């Protein structure tokens, strides 16, 4: 069943963005030849992604074992007069074990593996490029801001998070880029038929970045979320992010990433709070090893914590996904990452220590490991493992994944 598009309500705003430069396109003689050129200049891509996921979670009588295959076909038109279009369809099927709670099948004896089977339109959009640095995009699309801590596509899950939105990306002056989107629907990872399949509302997300040079940038962002289905997630967030790189010599370089944000209740939220976000990471590339130390804090105010409901949450606070919802006492995540490459295999190991931002509770710790190998441009193999050791929050959890991706 195709995911409901719900594109009509904000169509006026969408068309207003496109109407900035549509005059020359409507000449009668351009349309037939333009359509032919768009078809002839287009591409068709096919991706098959098989994954086996295993979860052993204390408190659940059964272990989850999920064997899934995602098939994706993407049709991209050629560009004609600055215009192009894209349609992408996904199907997720179970091949082998389906002994897991997919968030909608009622198998609560098993841990959750949030990959319901589905068929849907993952992306469907049109875009117009004014020039190399300015374009607008209308429809269902991916939107990833910076490191995806606040806005992201959750590409790790077999059902990606996409956005029904009107987006404008432009550069008013040299070195400054602005990315603004009006989002009326968030198509979440739970599939088109689940109880938690989407958020609707009037959401405004924007990030402006100034690139001082190739190694240093400063960004400011604003996220105004008005969630119809979950008003407690409605919030306004304003913040800054700095990214910098420092080359010592040919074999040694340093990286610094700093971020700060303030969040408060917004629109119809029943909550009343003001909470902060702090992040810092120092990395050192000592060929062939990269080491990073990081510390991330999501504050709590009066028992109400800082929230990031549209983030790619799997990227943060451990791959075991124990903190997809920020605890009511907030969270502090101190971590160490080590990455290298041996014989073409990319390796990553991460250690996390988690504790409450407010109250001093020791949540637990986690060890993550990833090994990835690319056979060719068409085939990739990945193994991932996560072990969460609970102290005063959640339960001990071990997860393992084996994934093979083929792209043509």
pLDDT digit string, tens, across residues 234-243: 999 999 999 9
**Which residues, other chains included, contact 131 with Cβ-Cβ below 8 Å and sequence gap of 6+?**
none
Q: What CA–CA distance (Å, rounded) separates 111 from 398? A: 11
Cα torsion through 354, 320, 381, 76, rounded to 10: -100
5 belongs to a structural domain: no
Name the burial class of residue 199, with classes exposed (0-12), middle (13-18) and buried (19+) by CB atoms within 10 angstroms of its CB: buried
Instruction: Give pLDDT tens digits for 134-152.
Output: 999 999 999 999 999 999 9
Tokens 């990959």, residue located: 115
Instruction: Give pLDDT tens digits for 161-181.
Output: 999 999 999 999 999 999 999
**Structure confidence at residue 197 (pLDDT):** 74
Cα torsion through 144, 332, 337, 210, rounded to 10: 40
pLDDT at 30 over 70: no
Give the count of domains, the chain.
1
Tokens 């594109």, residue located: 7
pLDDT at 372 over 50: yes
2 belongs to a structural domain: no
pLDDT at 2 over 50: no
Structure tokens at 25: 């396109």
The model's confidence at residue 33, banded by pLDDT at 50, 70 and 90, is low
Instruction: Give pLDDT tens digits for 96-142.
Output: 889 999 988 999 999 999 999 999 999 999 999 999 999 999 999 99
277 belongs to a structural domain: yes
The residue range of the domain holding 27 is 11-407
311 belongs to a structural domain: yes
Q: How many C-beta neighbours within 10 Å does residue 89 have?
A: 17
Instruction: Give pLDDT tens digits for 265-283.
Output: 999 999 999 999 999 999 9
* Domain harbouring 204, CATH code: 2.40.160.10
Higher pLDDT, 191 or 219: 219
In terms of DSSP H, where are the helices of 29-150?
30-40
4 belongs to a structural domain: no
Q: How many residues does the chain have?
A: 408
Residues 9-14 have a mean pLDDT of 42
- Closest by alpha carbon to 150, among 49, 42, 14, 259? 259
For residues 386 and 348, is the Cβ–Cβ distance under 8 A?
A: no
117 belongs to a structural domain: yes
| Exposure on the CB side of residue 236, measured as CA atoms within 13 A | 7
183 belongs to a structural domain: yes
In terms of DSSP H, where are the helices of 77-202?
none
**Structure confidence at residue 195 (pLDDT):** 67
pTM: 0.90
1 belongs to a structural domain: no
Structure tokens at 90: 């996904």
Structure tokens at 202: 């009037």
């Amino acid at each position: 069943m195709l995911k409901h598009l719900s594109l009509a309500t904000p169509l006026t705003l969408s068309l207003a963005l496109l109407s900035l430069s549509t005059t020359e396109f409507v000449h009668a003689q351009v349309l037939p030849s333009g359509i032919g050129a768009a078809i002839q200049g287009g591409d068709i891509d096919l991706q098959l992604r098989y994954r086996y996921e295993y979860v052993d979670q204390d408190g659940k009588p059964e272990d989850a074992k999920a064997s899934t295959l995602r098939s994706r076909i993407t049709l991209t038109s050629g560009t004609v007069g600055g215009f192009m279009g894209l349609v992408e369809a996904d199907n997720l099927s179970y091949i082998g074990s389906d002994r897991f709670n997919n968030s909608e099948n009622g198998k609560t004896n098993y841990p959750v593996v949030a990959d319901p089977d589905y068929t849907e339109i993952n992306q469907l959009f049109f875009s117009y490029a004014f020039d190399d640095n300015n374009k607008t995009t209308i429809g269902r699309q991916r939107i990833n801001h910076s490191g995806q801590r606040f806005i992201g596509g959750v590409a790790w899950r077999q059902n990606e998070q996409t956005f029904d939105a009107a987006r404008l990306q432009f550069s008013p002056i040299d070195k400054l880029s602005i990315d603004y989107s009006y989002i009326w629907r968030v198509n979440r990872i739970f599939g088109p038929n689940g109880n938690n399949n989407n958020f609707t509302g009037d959401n405004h997300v924007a990030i402006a970045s100034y690139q001082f040079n190739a190694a240093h940038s400063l960004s400011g962002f604003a996220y105004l979320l008005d969630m119809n289905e979950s008003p407690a997630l409605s919030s306004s967030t304003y913040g800054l992010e700095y990214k910098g790189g420092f080359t010592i010599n040919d074999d040694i370089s340093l990286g610094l990433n700093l971020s700060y944000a303030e969040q408060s209740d917004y629109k119809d939220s029943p909550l009343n709070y003001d909470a902060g976000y702090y992040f810092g990471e120092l990395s050192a590339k000592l060929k062939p090893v990269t080491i990073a130390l990081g510390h991330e804090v999501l504050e709590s105010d009066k028992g109400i914590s800082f929230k990031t409901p549209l983030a790619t949450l799997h990227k943060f606070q451990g791959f075991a996904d124990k903190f997809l919802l920020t605890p009511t006492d907030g969270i502090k995540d101190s971590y160490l990452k080590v990455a290298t490459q041996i014989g073409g295999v990319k390796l990553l190991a991460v250690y996390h220590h988690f504790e409450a931002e407010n109250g001093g509770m020791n949540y637990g710790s986690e060890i993550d490991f990833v090994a990835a190998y690319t056979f060719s441009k068409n085939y990739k193999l990945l193994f991932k493992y996560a072990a969460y050791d609970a102290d005063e929050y959640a339960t001990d959890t071990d997860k393992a994944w084996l994934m093979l991706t083929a792209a043509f």
